[in-house]
């Protein structure tokens, strides 16, 4: 592990714990031609533009669960400030960052490579993770930063508090568009997530002496509902479509949206959760900010009536479960990969026949 903290010039190779199997390292061939969905018309209340946006969202969610949004309503200055604060945090001495070290059994705080949880296929990244409640106190994020890292980090907390409030609004707008795209009541999913929360994470991917042997994050779909991600201009995010890894060209004006397993279950498998990974680079470090939208923990994950029928053509694909059950599975029993929902379903049914 000590190697991780050396400067890139000092490193000649990477520790074996960071080396991924060859099948996970197959290079991306081309860029994904995913739709960029313009939300301006939706926010203005323009019916035709909203239908067009919903149609693009539907096509990409039926296929792979990935799209980008522009004119998303989150202030670009606020996004820049959030990146700046996150970068400033990751550049602190390791001893400062470790003051708020993620503890075993907790999701929150600073962690390097999940090294306290896993011992192989470690991701080449540092993370800072905290929670954000949609209906929580408007000082909760500031409180998190102060209690984990002490005084002097208030500005970072304030910026992230405002950033989360902006992204929360976007997340609920996306829920409305997803509802429209599925032909159900447009407020159905917005209301479902209104009292939800988010796992918020800044990912920092340092430069790597052997980028061809490791990954910033391995192939997985997010177990959460919808992920709203903002990345810098370096690039590294890749999505698995048509049996190939495809790279995503970063757009500063866009948020990346990818569906997670919980949303797939909420649509009875109709919309796909997106299989993705992140690569790292030899000479460029990279950063991304992720907002993993989650329902309230006791909410039942069950598709709305229109998306299944008791007759043969649309049977239920997953059991009724709560987000609490699924979250516990992915934090205590299973490291998220491409088959999380499938394996959770088997595991859950074996305990709840």
Ligand X SMILES: O=C(O)CCC(=O)C(=O)O
Ligand Y SMILES: C=C1C[C@]23C[C@H]1CC[C@H]2[C@]1(C)CCC[C@@](C)(C(=O)O)[C@H]1[C@@H]3C(=O)O
Strands (E), the chain: 30-31, 36-38, 66-70, 109-112, 126-133, 197-205, 217-220, 226-231, 237-241, 244-247, 255-259, 276-278, 286-294, 300-301, 321-322
Q: Whose CA is closest to 271, among 282, 260, 281?
A: 260
Among 34, 126, 176, 222, binds ligand Y (CB under 6 A): 222
Q: Binding to ligand Y by residue 292, rule CB under 6 A?
A: yes
How many residues belong to the site for Fe ion (CB under 5 A)?
1
Q: How far is the CB of 224 from Fe ion (least distance, A)?
A: 9
The residues that are catalytic are 286
Nearer to Fe ion, 222 or 238 (CB): 222
Nearer to ligand X, 261 or 325 (CB): 261
Task: Choose the binding region for ligand Y from 151-159, 208-216, 237-245, 330-338 (rule: CB under 6 A).
Answer: 330-338
By the criterion CB under 6 A, which residues form the site for ligand X?
201, 203, 217, 222, 229, 231, 237, 276, 278, 288, 290
Q: Binding to ligand Y by residue 216, rule CB under 6 A?
A: no
Nearer to ligand Y, 171 or 181 (CB): 171
Do the Cβ atoms of 175 and 262 come closer than 8 Å? no
Nearer to ligand X, 125 or 168 (CB): 125
Q: Binding to ligand Y by residue 284, rule CB under 6 A?
A: no
Q: How far is the CB of 190 from Fe ion (least distance, A)?
A: 23
Helices 154-181 and 76-90 cross at an angle (nearest 10°) of 130
Q: How far is the CB of 111 from ligand Y (least distance, A)?
A: 8
Q: How far is the CB of 217 from ligand X (least distance, A)?
A: 5
Phi and psi dihedrals of 85, rounded to 5?
Answer: -65, -40
Torsional class of 67: left (φ above 0), alpha (ψ -120 to 50), beta (otherwise): beta
Q: How far is the CB of 264 from ligand X (least distance, A)?
A: 15
Phi and psi dihedrals of 333, rounded to 5?
Answer: -115, -15
Instruction: Tell me which residues in 108-127 interact with Fe ion (CB under 5 A).
Output: none
Q: Binding to ligand Y by residue 335, rule CB under 6 A?
A: yes
Beta bridge partners of 113: none
Do the Cβ atoms of 65 and 272 come closer than 8 Å? yes
Do the Cβ atoms of 126 and 206 come closer than 8 Å? yes
Q: Binding to Fe ion by residue 222, rule CB under 5 A?
A: yes
Q: Binding to Fe ion by residue 261, rule CB under 5 A?
A: no
Site string for ligand Y, 66-105 (x = CB under 6 A): ----------------------------------------
Do the Cβ atoms of 127 and 202 come closer than 8 Å? yes
Do the Cβ atoms of 68 and 251 come closer than 8 Å? yes
Q: Per the structure block, which two tokens stand in for 100? A: 């708020």
Nearer to ligand X, 262 or 288 (CB): 288
| Residue ranges in contact with Fe ion by CB under 5 A | 222
| Residue ranges in contact with ligand Y by CB under 6 A | 114, 123, 199, 217, 220, 222-224, 292, 327, 330-331, 335-336
């Amino acid at each position: 592990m000590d190697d991780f903290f050396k400067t890139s010039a000092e490193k000649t190779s990477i520790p074996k714990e960071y080396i991924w199997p060859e099948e996970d390292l197959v290079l991306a061939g081309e860029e994904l031609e995913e739709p960029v969905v313009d939300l301006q018309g939706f926010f203005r209340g323009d019916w035709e533009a909203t239908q067009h946006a919903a149609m693009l969202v539907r096509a990409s969610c039926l296929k792979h669960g990935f799209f980008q949004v522009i004119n998303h309503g989150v202030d670009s200055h606020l996004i820049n400030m959030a990146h700046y604060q996150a970068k400033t945090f990751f550049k602190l001495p390791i001893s400062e960052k470790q003051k708020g070290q993620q503890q075993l059994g907790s999701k929150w705080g600073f962690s390097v490579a999940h090294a306290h949880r896993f011992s192989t296929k470690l991701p080449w990244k540092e993370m800072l993770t905290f929670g954000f409640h949609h209906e929580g106190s408007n000082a909760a994020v500031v409180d998190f930063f102060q209690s984990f890292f002490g005084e002097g980090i208030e500005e970072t907390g304030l910026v992230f508090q405002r950033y989360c409030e902006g992204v929360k609004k976007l997340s609920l707008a996306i829920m409305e568009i997803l509802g429209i795209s599925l032909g159900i009541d447009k407020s159905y999913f917005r209301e479902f997530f209104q009292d939800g929360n988010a796992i918020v994470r800044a990912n920092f991917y340092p430069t790597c002496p052997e980028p061809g042997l490791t990954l910033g994050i391995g192939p997985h779909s997010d177990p959460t509902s919808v992920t709203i991600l903002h990345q810098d201009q370096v690039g590294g995010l890749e999505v698995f479509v048509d049996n190939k890894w495809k790279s995503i060209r970063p757009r500063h004006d866009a948020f990346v949206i990818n569906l997670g397993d919980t949303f797939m279950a909420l649509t009875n498998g109709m919309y796909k959760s997106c299989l993705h990974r992140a690569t790292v680079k030899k000479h460029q470090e990279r950063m991304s900010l992720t907002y993993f939208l989650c329902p309230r923990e006791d909410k039942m994950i069950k598709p709305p009536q229109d998306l299944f029928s008791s007759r043969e053509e649309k049977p239920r694909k997953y059991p009724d479960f709560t987000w609490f059950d699924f979250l516990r599975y992915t934090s205590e029993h299973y490291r998220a990969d491409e088959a999380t929902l499938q394996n959770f379903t088997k595991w859950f049914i074996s305990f709840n026949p």
